[in-house]
Amino acid sequence: MNESLLLVVCLGFSAGYIFKTLMYGFKTFSVTAAFVQKIGYQALILLATSVYKMSYIDQMCALELEKTGNTEEAKKLRLDHQRQFDDWKEEIVEEYIENYPTDFKWQLEFDDWKGMMNELTDIYKEKKV
């Protein structure tokens, strides 16, 4: 009787330890996932703010150049800025997705700039940040 009681106690302890370890791991993963997602949202907001301000500055440069009478040069500048801007936005999305933690890539719901901006709109609407 003593041996079977000892066996039950050891098995109970082992089962409890395994259960506690699994639950702790699950809780840690959940908390980390929420943290990564929140930081991802903050990064999207920072990117959007930077893009807006950069676009504004580019437009101001082109307008000032246009005011001086160089409309053709302003047009070239706008096209050049737009091309560089589009390349930069594509690179941002690729780098963001590539550097997002592998275990949490399931959180990403976009794969291009338009999708990223739609995600940002959802973040603002739902006040996730």
| pLDDT (0 to 100) of residue 86 | 87
Angstrom distance (rounded) from CA 81 to CA 1: 84
In-domain check, residue 83 = yes
In-domain check, residue 72 = yes
Structural domains counted in the chain: 1
| pTM score of the predicted model | 0.70
Q: How confident is the model at residue 1 (pLDDT cuts 50, 70, 90)?
A: low
In-domain check, residue 76 = yes
How far, in Å, are 73, 109, 118, 122 from residue 125 at the CA level?
40, 16, 10, 5
Angstrom distance (rounded) from CA 12 to CA 106: 36
Check pLDDT > 80 for residue 26.
yes
Please, is 110 exposed, middle or buried when counting C-beta atoms within 10 Å of its C-beta (0-12, 13-18, 19+)?
Answer: middle
Angstrom distance (rounded) from CA 97 to CA 104: 11
Write the pLDDT tens digit of every residue in 64-105: 888 888 788 888 888 888 888 888 888 989 999 998 998 888
Question: Is residue 101 helix, strand or coil?
Answer: coil
Q: Which domain holds residue 36?
A: 32-126
| pLDDT (0 to 100) of residue 129 | 58
Please state, rounded to an integer, the average pLDDT across all residues of the chain.
86
Q: How confident is the model at residue 61 (pLDDT cuts 50, 70, 90)?
A: confident
In-domain check, residue 3 = no
In-domain check, residue 67 = yes
Backbone angles phi, psi at 39, to 5 degrees: -65, -40
In-domain check, residue 79 = yes
In-domain check, residue 58 = yes
Residue 8, Cβ neighbours under 10 Å: how many?
Answer: 10
Check pLDDT > 70 for residue 128.
no
In-domain check, residue 11 = no
